[in-house]
Amino acid sequence: MSRPSAGPLLEVDNVSVRFGALLALSGVSLSIQPKEILAIIGPNGAGKTTLLNVISGFYHPYEGRILFEGRDRTRLSPPDVAELGVARTFQNVALFKGMTVLDNLMTGRLLKMGGHFLLDAVWWGPAKRQELANRAFVERLIDFLEIQAIRKTLAGKLPYGLQKRVELGRALAAEPKLLLLDEPMAGMNVEEKEDMSRFILDVNGEFGTTIALIEHDMGVVMDISDRVAVLDYGRKIADGPPEQVRKDSAVLDAYLGASHG
């Protein structure tokens, strides 16, 4: 797993998020170690997606700090967070539905294309070479995700499971250091879940990408994660290896709503 000396890739330090009177997160601290797969679980409304949104800059905490590679990144906007090397997927799949799969992935790679936006139109030659180099990377990604057959299909026309896979691909196209997945397996059948689990493990294993994911399927969570953090009512109630969290009485309470022996 991780090298303990390197320090966490991302640190959420005592973060609270408020929507009006509702405290969506209260004093949550959490660290994500390099190269690990962290699962964030919890009942509905526990604040999991809010936590992901805070990390990726869509929400800003009213209290607490976010540190990425040891530096304070609390108030960055989403594009700035993306530039640091954080990519994400969304709970309800946010693909560019009117574009082909290939174009979705190429768009995901926008940040990796150096040079200036506006100069593209003028410096045609270099822009063209860049496009080809990035295209080659995206084609490898398409092979990796086994979506060759649909590369020219409009993303909006794909079945849900494949959309999720393409969305993963778009996030990977940016070669992120930290990959945030919001319910990557929601609404999938068993087979699709197995495929997705395999891709997540492969991404982690082959590219060494650090992954934080929200997931409801406990079987999947226990299988693929190195560590599990549990949220309930905006607080973190447990954090540790899967087998330990599984037995935690606070976690059982949160999920089953009752006190256990």
Partner 1 sequence: MAEILHGIFIGPLRDMAASPAFLIEVLLGGLFTGLMYSLVALGFVLIFKASGVFNFAQGVMVLFAALTLVGLMERGMPVAVALILTMAVMVALAFVIERVVLRPLVNQEAIILFMATIGLNFFLEGFGELLWGANVKKLDVGIPDRSFVVAGVQINQLEMSAAATAAVLVAVLAVFFQRTRIGRALRAVADDHEAALSIGIPLKTIWLIVWSVAGLVAIVAGIMWGAKSGVQFSLSLVALKALPVLILGGFTSVPGAIVGGLIVGVGEKLGEVYWGPLVGGAIENWFAYVVALVFLLFRPQGLFGERIIERV
Query: Of 39 and 76, which CB lies nearer to partner 1 in the complex structure?
Result: 76
Decide if residue 214 touches partner 1 (CB under 8 A): no
Decide if residue 103 touches partner 1 (CB under 8 A): yes
Decide if residue 111 touches partner 1 (CB under 8 A): yes
Per the structure block, which two tokens stand in for 136?
């080659």
Decide if residue 132 touches partner 1 (CB under 8 A): no
C-beta of residue 237 within 8 angstroms of C-beta of residue 230: yes
Residue 231 CA to chain centroid, in angstroms?
17
Decide if residue 250 touches partner 1 (CB under 8 A): no
- Residue in 33, 49, 50, 56 binding partner 1, rule: CB under 8 A: 56
Decide if residue 108 touches partner 1 (CB under 8 A): yes
Decide if residue 126 touches partner 1 (CB under 8 A): no
Amino acid residing at 100: T
- Residue in 97, 140, 198, 247 binding partner 1, rule: CB under 8 A: 97
Decide if residue 120 touches partner 1 (CB under 8 A): yes
Query: Of 160 and 241, which CB lies nearer to partner 1 in the complex structure?
Result: 160
What totals of helices (H) and strands (E) does the chain contain, helices first? 10, 10
CA distance 185 to 39: 13
Query: Of 24 and 87, which CB lies nearer to partner 1 in the complex structure?
Result: 87
CA distance 162 to 154: 12
Using CA atoms of 219, 95, 81, 230 in order, give the dihedral in degrees to the nearest 10.
-20
Amino acid residing at 49: T
Residue carrying structure tokens 């009752």: 258
Decide if residue 175 touches partner 1 (CB under 8 A): no
CA distance 203 to 173: 12
CA distance 55 to 67: 9
The helix (H) or strand (E) run that includes residue 37 is: strand 37-41
- Residue in 25, 55, 147, 171 binding partner 1, rule: CB under 8 A: 171
At closest approach, how far in Å is the CB of 52 from partner 1?
Answer: 10
Stretch that binds partner 1, among 63-71, 76-84, 145-153, 252-260 (CB under 8 A): 76-84
Decide if residue 137 touches partner 1 (CB under 8 A): no
The order of strands in the sheet holding 10-19 is 22-32, 10-19, 63-68, 71-72
Q: Which of 251, 115, 97, 94 is nearest to 171 (CA)?
A: 94
Decide if residue 90 touches partner 1 (CB under 8 A): yes
Stretch that binds partner 1, among 38-46, 75-83, 193-201, 219-227 (CB under 8 A): 75-83
Tell me which residues touch partner 1 (CB under 8 A): 56, 58, 77-79, 82-83, 87-88, 90, 94-99, 103, 106-108, 110-111, 113, 117-118, 120-121, 127, 170-171, 174
